[in-house]
Amino acid sequence: MNELTDSVIEDAVAIGADCARFKPLDIRNVDSRPDSSARYIYCSGIEAWNAAEFHRALCSAIRILKPAGIIRVAARDLDAVIYGYLLDRERNQSTGMTRAQQLNAWRKNEKAEFVYNEEDLASGLRKAGFVDIWRLTAGASSIEIFRDCERDGSPDLVLEARKPASMND
C-alpha cells in the first residue's frame, strides 16, 4: 500500500477542499483542531469565503501546523482570467460568444466572494505569519503529498508557504 495515495495521512489536513490523502476540516470547525497537529495543509475553495473567513482559516492553519509545516493554497487566478479576456481573441470563434459574454458567463457561474491574484494571496499568507512563499503550477510540487491535488481545469493560482520553524525564522 502506498501511504500517500491509498490512505488519509493523519497529520495532513484539507480545509475547504475534498482531497483523498488529507483529513477534511470544514471552515466552520477549523478552530477545533489542536495546535501543532498537522504537518501539511491543503486549502482550496477559498473564493467562496469572505475576507474574514479567509484570514481566520490562514491564522488557524498556522496555529495547527507543526513548526516548518507547509500549507498549499489553490485558487482561481484573477490575473489569468483578465489576461485571458484581454489576449485570447481566438477563443470567441470556437465558443460562439464574444469575449465580454464569456467573461460575464464566467462571473455569473463563479460563486466567489473574492477572486485572488498572486500578490493578494501571498499578502494574506504573510499577514498570517507564513514565510518562504512560492508559486507552483497546478498539480506540481516538490512535496509528494501535494502532487496532483488539483484536477484538470483546476485553479490557476497555487502557492505553497512554510510556517516558521522558530520565532527567529
Place of cell 514565510: 131
pLDDT band at 96 (very low <50, low <70, confident <90, very high): confident
Q: How confident is the model at residue 59 (pLDDT cuts 50, 70, 90)?
A: very high
Please give the residue that has the higher pLDDT: either 114 or 22. Answer: 22
* Cα torsion 43, 48, 54, 60: sign: negative
In the CATH hierarchy, which fold is given to the domain comprising 3-76+112-162? Rossmann fold (3.40.50)
4, pLDDT greater than 50: no
Contacts for 34 with CB less than 8 Å, ≥ 6 apart: 64
* Mean of pLDDT over the chain: 82
pLDDT at 134: 96
Short-list 65, 20, 98, 57, CA closest to 164: 65
Residue ranges of the domains in the chain?
3-76+112-162
Find all residues with CB under 8 Å of 37, minimum gap 6, and list them.
11, 64, 66
pLDDT of residue 52: 86
Q: What is the pLDDT of residues 14-54, one digit of tens each?
A: 998 888 889 988 888 888 889 999 999 999 888 777 888 88
Can you give the length of the chain in residues? 169
The DSSP output letter for 149 is: -
